[in-house]
Structure 1
């Protein structure tokens, strides 16, 4: 199975899926904890994105819970 390439839209879609929201309901600057994000959901996303070839840790995401901050971090680690 080929690795998926992460994009801002795919990260938003993954996040919406674990939060049971529509992607358009998540603004890039939203505090994701306020939208229902918890540690179990963060770990689920970490595993999903690691499977896509992006090395990221739970702590890195938990320290900055916004889509904008996550994309800033993830986009620097995309597989070449």
Structure 2
């Protein structure tokens, strides 16, 4: 299992949006930046493969990196 970090998630999002990771702020609404549901599903699948327990609906409900990282951290704490 690969290690998922806040910065690796930021890099994945930036790659998906063809942006620099520095341009993706923790509280940016990622849908406003151009992330659509298909790309979000791809990201969620990729992160699940890395060991995160998260669902598309949880990510779509609040489309910020800060919120998504909270979900990942909660899932990692539950797995410990």
TM over 0.5: yes
Give TM-score scaled by structure 2 length.
0.91
Q: Who is 1:41 aligned against?
A: 39
Q: Who is 1:9 aligned against?
A: 7
Q: Which structure has the highest helix share of the two?
A: 2
Aligned residues: 78
* Separation of aligned partners in 1, 2:36 and 2:6: 20
* Separation of aligned partners in 1, 2:73 and 2:20: 22
Deviation readout 1:33-57 (Å, 9 max, x if unpaired): 1100110011001110110111111
SS at match of 1:35: coil
> Runs of 5+ in structure 2 lacking a partner?
none
Point out 4+ residue stretches in structure 1 off by more than 3 angstroms: none
Deviation readout 1:46-74 (Å, 9 max, x if unpaired): 11011011111110100010011111111
Please, which moves more after superposition, 8-17 or 69-78? 69-78
Q: Who is 1:29 aligned against?
A: 27
Q: Who is 1:73 aligned against?
A: 71
Give TM-score scaled by structure 1 length.
0.91
> Runs of 5+ in structure 1 lacking a partner?
none
